[in-house]
Structure 1
Amino acid sequence: MALRPDESELRRLDLNLLPVFVALMRERSVTRAGQALFLSQPATSAALARLRAAFRDELLIRNGKLLEATPRAEALMAALVPSLQAISATLAGATPFDPATDERVFRIGWTDDVGMAAKPLLTRIWQQAPHCRLVIRAANYRTIPAMLESGEIGLALGFMGDDLPAVAKQRVLRRGQFQVLRAADTPPVDLDAYCARPHVLVTPRGDLTGFADAALDRLGRSRRVVLGVPEFGLLRQLLLGTDLLCTISDALVEALLAPEAGGGLAADPLPLPTQDSVMRMAWRTALDDDPAESWLRAQVVAVLARRG
């Protein structure tokens, strides 16, 4: 059957270049795009050159350290992502999965606090799917929607909102209350102590206010945030031997107070009314029926979902 004129355009384009284009648009960096696709920088640069020739446009122009998309590139991105997702869904439905022998790559984005609680999940995956590989991307509630929409990740785990893109589905894994982490040799925390003692805030963006400050303001109170750090993994060494406090989710409390974590810390209920701590799992709708991704989500539920 002969190709129609509009289909003949496919003959001049290597379709393997399209995931490279999406990665370049997402990362705005040849190096980072190559890393996301396991390609070398020269191979990624060569792919960009071929894309520019195929689409007769510069597509991405260097602006300082980042690449800036042309209007043509923005239009292509908007048109291509839904098509690539549809192709992915079609192929996924036809691809069987045997965890004992499969060698595919899973791409997961998770927040730092979930990552600290996820070691049992990684152990379970490697035990049951010893030949599969994992790519873990740092994510937060601001970046997860875009990472899912672009296909950078297939699954997201974190304390995120429900404002996810239409291309994603979600499930609540657990709801809980926030708690106040402290050194175990310091006094328990009530509202007065919470306002008087210094706080450390985990703040990837570098700001020094959070949801607790808004809740305190409604009570006519305030606290002293004296330190902002980029990740939860620093909390143990920061809190031990000090009177610092940190407000964290109950899931992270469980990880930090587990016997194997090393001891020396304690936690109290947060002494003010705030929203629940909600851990969600979100995934791309295109992967909803993928046997491998369905298996992966089942492992997440088995390890991280709260029973009862």
Structure 2
Amino acid sequence: MRFKGLDLNLLVAFDALMADRSVSRAAERMHLSQPAMSNALSRLRAYFSDELLIAHSKRMYPTPFAETLLPQVQAALATMEGVVATSRHFDPATSVRTFRVMASDYIATAVLFPIITRLATIAPGVRIELLLPSQRRIELLDSGGIDLLITLQPYVTPTLPSDYLLEDRYWLVGRAGHPALAGRVTQEAMLAYGHILVAIGEERLPSFGDAYLERIGVQRRVAMTAPNFAMLPWLLQETDWLTLMQGRLAHLMARNFAIALAPPPFEIPPLVEMAQYHVTRANDPGLRWLIDTIRTQAAGGSSRI
């Protein structure tokens, strides 16, 4: 299809070339031969009268014009993808759609995994592709790189639509039989042991609970900083370390690991998780189905709060 003399498929090729900065890798991404991708680049250069990407030292570098063009192309592709995805009807039983969801390993383990295992029955053609949190999350929403971002309420971008998903509370977690967790936990007992903190993603953002205790001036002895929540029970069951963990995840992990949990001695506000998406997806019935499915799973799941 052409628009004002431009083959619109070339815009998809341009986006891939800018992402990979390599003709061969862009070709692999688009399942094309390398000569076909080279031809696409030549046609783009001819249409825009600009080199767009210049080869240097085995790598390609975008021209200033290409850098200016990229966000406009990504916005156009996201809009078109929204148009294609939006229909008057979405039937999960017959759909063959892939949803790209960015979420923490906490949300993935406690909420999304049970949904994914049920898809074989309720939506056999639907696939969920999970991505861990990235500092490019809003850029990926804008470009259509992800369909849905699940994030804490404080990190919601006000310029994009969002929906409430779930609420959870933090528990203090340690090995089974940990003396600090016997009976009502005191501040003295909690602070007498080393703690594992969690720093999430490329930005190494502290978990909501860790950030809150730091904000109110609670000083803990940090024994280790972990990159995710999934590794915590492995560390806890072999040490006297303690950590803060979301209720849904803590109770789930307590079924499979020798860990115990108790309410912390500090009142930590509940964490609120939100679903955020691009404005072009606001009327997408497929995405609405996914958000409603996640919310229903969260409502039925046990957070023990």
1:92 and 2:85 aligned: yes
Tell whether the 8 Å contact from 1:183 to 1:239 is kept in structure 2 after alignment.
Answer: yes
Which segments of 5 or more consecutive residues in structure 2 lack a partner in the other structure? none
Question: Which residue identity does 1:153 align to in structure 2?
Answer: I
Deviations along 1:268-297, whole A, 9 cap, x unmatched?
223334443121111222122222222222
Question: Which residue identity does 2:145 align to in structure 1?
Answer: E
Deviates more, 1:219-228 or 1:40-49: 40-49
Counterpart position of 2:197: 201
Tell whether the 8 Å contact from 1:215 to 1:274 is kept in structure 2 after alignment.
Answer: yes
Counterpart position of 1:70: 63
Counterpart position of 1:279: 273
What is the CA-CA distance between 1:159 and the residue it aligns to? 3.1
Which segments of 5 or more consecutive residues in structure 1 lack a partner in the other structure? 1-6
Q: Structure 1 length as normaliser, TM-score? A: 0.78
What is the CA-CA distance between 1:183 and the residue it aligns to? 1.0
1:180 and 2:172 aligned: yes
Cα distance change on mapping 1:300 and 1:208 into 2, 3 Å: closer
Question: Which residue identity does 2:96 align to in structure 1?
Answer: E
Tell whether the 8 Å contact from 1:125 to 1:299 is kept in structure 2 after alignment.
Answer: no
Tell whether the 8 Å contact from 2:156 to 2:162 is kept in structure 1 after alignment.
Answer: no
What is the CA-CA distance between 1:164 and the residue it aligns to? 1.5
Counterpart position of 1:299: 293
What is the CA-CA distance between 1:130 and the residue it aligns to? 0.5
**1:5-84 maps to which residues of 2 (within 5 A)?**
10-11=4-5, 13-25=6-18, 39=31, 42=34, 46=38, 47-48=40-41, 50-60=43-53, 69-84=62-77
Cα distance change on mapping 1:24 and 1:156 into 2, 3 Å: farther
Counterpart position of 1:4: none
Deviations along 1:214-266, whole A, 9 cap, x unmatched?
65456554112221222222112111121112222223223323x3xx13112
Counterpart position of 1:126: 120
**1:146-185 maps to which residues of 2 (within 5 A)?**
146-159=139-152, 161-164=154-157, 166=159, 168-185=160-177
Q: Structure 2 length as normaliser, TM-score? A: 0.79
Cα distance change on mapping 1:162 and 1:190 into 2, 3 Å: same
Counterpart position of 1:250: 247
- Work out the number of aligned pairs and report it: 295
Deviates more, 1:20-29 or 1:92-101: 20-29
Deviates more, 1:114-123 or 1:46-55: 46-55
Deviates more, 1:223-232 or 1:154-163: 154-163
Deviations along 1:188-219, whole A, 9 cap, x unmatched?
14322332311222224485966656654565
- SS of residue paired to 1:233: coil
In 2, the alpha carbon distance for the partners of 1:194 and 1:64 equals 55
Cα distance change on mapping 1:248 and 1:65 into 2, 3 Å: farther
In 2, the alpha carbon distance for the partners of 1:128 and 1:207 equals 37
Counterpart position of 1:114: 107
Q: In the alignment, which of 217, 222, 247 is matched to residue 219 of structure 2?
A: 222
Tell whether the 8 Å contact from 2:52 to 2:65 is kept in structure 1 after alignment.
Answer: yes
In 1, the alpha carbon distance for the partners of 2:194 and 2:57 equals 39
Counterpart position of 1:3: none
